[in-house]
Structure 1
Amino acid sequence: MTIAPDTRIAVVTGASSGIGEATARTLAEQGFHVVVGARRLDRLEKLADEIGGTAIELDVTDEDSVAALGAVLPRVDVLVNNAGGAKGLATVLEADLDDWRWMWETNVLGTLRVTKALLPKLIDSGDGLIVTVTSVAAFSAYDNGSGYTSAKHAQAVLHRTLRGELLGKPVRLTEIAPGAVETEFSLVRFDGDQDRADKVYEGIDPLVADDIAEIIGFVASRPPHVNLDQIIVKPRDQADPGRFHRH
């Protein structure tokens, strides 16, 4: 990877669609060289060409894949932990352990792997920023959502723990917890069932990926002494994870 030494580098995981893709575009507009990582390399390469960034195939559940990402980066100024997702809506009694493993590997251990791998370079940058995209599910439980809510609670606590551990280091940490955002999230949760995914947003005006990307861009543009710890953002039509006004 050939990048001028003074170029600020932002890394965005889960960047092949949705919030990750929109965030990559926003940070590129702010002057960052954006390194986009995800498993769908064809999408990443198209995005990287459009924004003048770098595409790297990345599986956050694979130790070697994450290590390879860290090895090729000359520096890291911003890390956006966006890779994650949900699988299914099962009760605790009917929980699918494979779905739970996927959610914990992706949301929790994936965030841990990438953060651990890039943290020394974030510190060395002199003004590092870690943004972790959690969810309103990191604050509340809801019926049939125990796998996802427990993973998001764990991911959020991992991120919040770093806030204390890095006191005195030149790294800021922001947790962004979105409510209902219409992306591929529900399509993944329901294993490609488009009709079921569409019903999640039926009758509401949900957030869109650009809404979250704009917030991340704002966070990244704050001066070094300003740390926005937590930002919870929901559609006007949403009060809690499972409570909506549908019109």
Structure 2
Amino acid sequence: MSASTETATENRRVAVVTGASSGIGAATARALAADGWLVVVGARRLDRISALAAEIGGIGRELDVTDPESIAAFVDGLDRVNLLVNNAGGAKGWAPVADAVEEDWRWMWETNVIGTMRMTKALLPALIASGDGLIVTVTSVAALEPYDNGAGYTSAKHAQAVVHRTLRTELLGKPVRLTEIAPGMVETEFSVVRFDGDQDRADAVYEGLTPLTADDVAEVIAFTASRPPHVNLDQIVIKPRDQASARRNIKTG
């Protein structure tokens, strides 16, 4: 953060949102900005990040959580951070373990697990120094239970969640709160990425039911960030009415 930006925003809380070029990340950035936060948004698609930052009066920086050098450049100068939203992640592929594609698994673990660790490690000193830090990690109902053909993603999300839950005890006594947000079915670009750009296949996932929207999840994250310092919302599971679990919805019975 430049000296001029620091001076102009010295009275505003600063939030960092990863994976903010679309979906839950972009919606969260808008919700936090509406609540008065200065939001620093990061993602690989710099054009989208720049447009979002201009829209919300925030700061946009290119970020690839799988690249340590990209993370170092992103956090450079961010000495004052009150909130980190670890949202970058995703799924690739829909194969049983017998047909697992190692490249897809490696990407999911690197993005969801290692990326969360890297971003948290990089910003933890600033979060502690803030005197009232908050780390929100967006996991999934896939962090709570497995489902067929999803072992690469469910294992990565389980691991990401355990990293976050371990931090909850490691930081006990420090001025940092930790909240895990575990959404169920949310209609974003998630399924498009999982199915390698097949929009029809992605759309079919949500046919016949009403999924959550990115705004639904963002509203809960903004609410979490509005709680007083002594209140820690440890874990919030959010599912559409039409979904009972990772395995069951109104289509699967």
CA distance in 2, matches of 1:50, 1:233: 27
Residue matched to 2:119: 114
Matching of residue 225 in structure 1 with residue 244 in structure 2:
no
Displacement of 1:6 after TM fit?
3.0
Hey, which bits of structure 1, 4+ residues long, moved more than 3 A? none
CA distance in 1, matches of 2:109, 2:164: 15
1:190-212 Cα shifts (integer Å, max 9, x gaps): 00000100111010100000000
Structure 2 residue ranges without an equivalent (≥5) = none
Q: Secondary structure at the match of 2:76?
A: helix
| Aligned positions of 1:1-247 closer than 5 A | 1=2, 2-3=5-6, 4-246=9-251
1:50-79 Cα shifts (integer Å, max 9, x gaps): 100000000000001111122121310000
CA distance in 1, matches of 2:14, 2:45: 21
CA distance in 2, matches of 1:103, 1:40: 18
CA distance in 1, matches of 2:170, 2:247: 34
Q: What is the root-mean-square deviation in Å for CA atoms of aligned residues? A: 1.0
Q: Secondary structure at the match of 1:240?
A: coil
1:140-198 Cα shifts (integer Å, max 9, x gaps): 01111000000000000000000000000000000000000000000000000001001
Q: In percent, how many aligned pairs have the same letter?
A: 73
Structure 1 residue ranges without an equivalent (≥5) = none
Q: Secondary structure at the match of 2:135?
A: strand
TM-score under structure 1 length normalisation: 0.98
CA distance in 1, matches of 2:72, 2:49: 19
CA distance in 2, matches of 1:243, 1:112: 31
Aligned AA (1:64): E
Aligned AA (1:52): G
Displacement of 1:220 after TM fit?
0.3
